[in-house]
């Protein structure tokens, strides 16, 4: 006579449930659908990375931790050791039938929350700038002697502000557009040397200064190509495209002076200096290179160097037959943050 029928029934159903669970887990697989998928020690984005997961790789699910994380196991290594870790659901595709309803939800998460290679990203930052000044001099004959004028603006320096937008049309290739501006104030230095009308070999010189506004702007439209560093969030990029540079500079327009002289005295004093804003622009080709490091799904850092030449000549305000050469292009260095949408 069977004394424990109830216990046998319980054991029977436990064995069936265990067998069903084993069979179910063995059928549960995921396929990696994002190039930057990583296996983490803990189910946290900031957790240490065990390894990068290859695009298209398939792995067994050990456990579903939450709506955002699952635990998977890697194939045995050469020593037969199996490593397990956690991966975000949004980086994989479920392959088993039991997860079809979840797969639809996961696909939506990928579309809404995970930056893709076709995503839009914004760059915000800045960096130091250096603007080149100029030295101009002119001489003429006055009272049978040589009179002269100098007009000098020193190099300007300061901080430039930068903003840009990028769109990945295909993996690793980005269309970009950006704009930067910078401004500074420097002291223009001016001098005038005038001979004595009565005693020709006596020449008097007067000097003066005036505050000068120096403003630079740069824009560019081009392409960047990215070189991924393994499966990390770091990459190098190079690019080229069309660039424009603009310069707004206060230049000498007029200078007035007074002169006091006798046979033994010759004194010259600058009474007024008049400046006029000159605006120049130039369009050409630019080249650039940079480094980008992605931190999480929607945030990153970058540094970039860009070279775009820009040179122009403008007639001097006082002596229109002569020109002043201005160089407002060159190398620019910037850095900042990237925001992925």
Residue 85 has pLDDT above 60, yes or no: yes
Note the pLDDT of residue 176. 97
Report the number of distinct structural domains present in the chain. 2
Retrieve residue 108's tokens. 């939506």
Q: Residue 82's pLDDT band (boundaries 50, 70, 90)?
A: confident
Residues 86, 128 within the same domain: no
Structure confidence at residue 231 (pLDDT): 66
Least trusted range by pLDDT, from 71-80, 158-167, 245-254: 71-80
pLDDT surpasses 80 at 173: yes
- 45 and 193 share a domain? no
What tens digit of pLDDT does each residue of 104-141 get? 454 444 443 333 444 799 999 999 999 999 999 999 99
* 142 and 10 in a common domain: no
pLDDT number for residue 27: 53
Same domain, 31 and 77: yes
> In the structure, what pLDDT confidence band is assigned to residue 12 with cuts at 50, 70 and 90?
very low
Residue range 280-321, pLDDT digits in tens: 999 999 999 999 998 877 899 999 999 999 999 999 999 999
| Domain end marker among 113, 140, 172 | 113
Structural domain that includes position 22: 5-113
φ and ψ at 185, to 5 degrees? -125, 130
- The DSSP bridge partners found for residue 245 are 218, 282
Residues 65, 182, single domain; the answer is no
Q: Are residues 85 and 169 in the same domain?
A: no
Percentage of residues in the chain having pLDDT higher than 90: 61
Q: Higher pLDDT residue, 205 or 14?
A: 205
Among residues 107, 100, 115, the alpha carbon closest in space to that of 37 is found at: 115
Same domain? For 225 and 264 the reply is yes
> Mean of the per-residue pLDDT values for the chain?
85
How would residue 77 be classed by pLDDT, with cut points 50, 70 and 90? confident
Question: Of the residues 113, 143, 160, which one is the last residue of a structural domain?
Answer: 113
For residue 42, the domain's CATH number is: 2.30.30.40
Q: Quick one: 216 and 312 in the same domain?
A: yes
Copy the structure tokens of residue 22: 């084993």
Of the three residues 113, 134, 165, the one that is the final residue of a domain is: 113
Is 171 found in the same domain as 46?
Answer: no
Q: What is the pLDDT of residues 31-59, one digit of tens each?
A: 999 988 999 999 888 888 888 899 988 98
Mark 290-328 as b/e (b = at least 16 C-beta within 10 Å): bebebeebeebbbebebebebebebebbbeeeeebebeb
241 and 272 in a single domain? The answer is yes
CA 246 to CA 244: how far, in whole Å?
7
Same-domain pairing of 63 and 93: yes
Q: pLDDT at position 263, please?
A: 84
Q: Please report, for the domain that includes residue 126, its CATH number.
A: 2.40.160.20
- Please check whether residues 191 and 328 belong to one and the same domain: yes
């Amino acid at each position: 006579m069977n004394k424990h029928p109830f216990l046998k029934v319980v054991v029977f159903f436990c064995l069936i449930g265990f067998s069903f669970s084993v069979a179910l887990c063995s059928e549960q697989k995921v396929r990696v659908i994002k190039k930057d998928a990583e296996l983490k020690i803990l189910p946290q984005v900031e957790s240490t990375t065990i390894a990068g997961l290859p695009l298209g790789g398939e792995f067994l699910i050990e456990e579903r931790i939450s709506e955002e994380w699952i635990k998977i196991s890697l194939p045995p290594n050469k020593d037969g050791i199996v490593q397990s870790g956690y991966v975000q659901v949004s980086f994989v595709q479920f392959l088993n039938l039991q997860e079809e309803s979840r797969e639809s939800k996961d696909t939506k998460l990928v579309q809404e929350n995970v930056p893709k290679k076709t995503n839009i990203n914004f760059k915000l930052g800045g960096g130091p700038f250096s603007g080149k000044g100029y030295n101009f001099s002119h001489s003429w004959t006055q009272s049978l002697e040589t009179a002269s004028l100098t007009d000098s603006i020193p190099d300007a320096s300061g901080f430039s502000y930068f903003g840009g937008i990028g769109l990945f049309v295909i993996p690793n290739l980005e269309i970009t557009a950006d704009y930067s501006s910078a401004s500074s104030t420097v002291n223009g230095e001016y001098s005038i040397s005038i001979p004595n009308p009565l005693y020709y070999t006596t020449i008097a010189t007067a000097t003066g200064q005036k505050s000068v506004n120096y403003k630079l702007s740069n824009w560019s439209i081009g392409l960047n190509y990215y070189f991924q560093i393994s499966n990390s969030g770091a990459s190098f990029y190079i690019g080229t495209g069309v660039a424009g540079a603009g310069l707004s500079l206060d230049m000498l327009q007029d200078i007035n002076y007074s002169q006091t002289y006798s046979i033994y005295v010759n004194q010259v004093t600058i009474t007024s200096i008049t400046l006029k804003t000159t605006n120049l622009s130039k369009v050409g080709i630019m080249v650039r290179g940079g480094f980008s490091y992605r931190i999480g799904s929607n945030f990153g850092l970058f540094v970039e160097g860009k070279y775009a030449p820009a040179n122009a000549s403008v007639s001097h305000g006082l002596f229109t037959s002569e020109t002043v050469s201005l160089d407002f292009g060159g190398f620019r260095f910037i850095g900042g943050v990237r925001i992925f949408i």
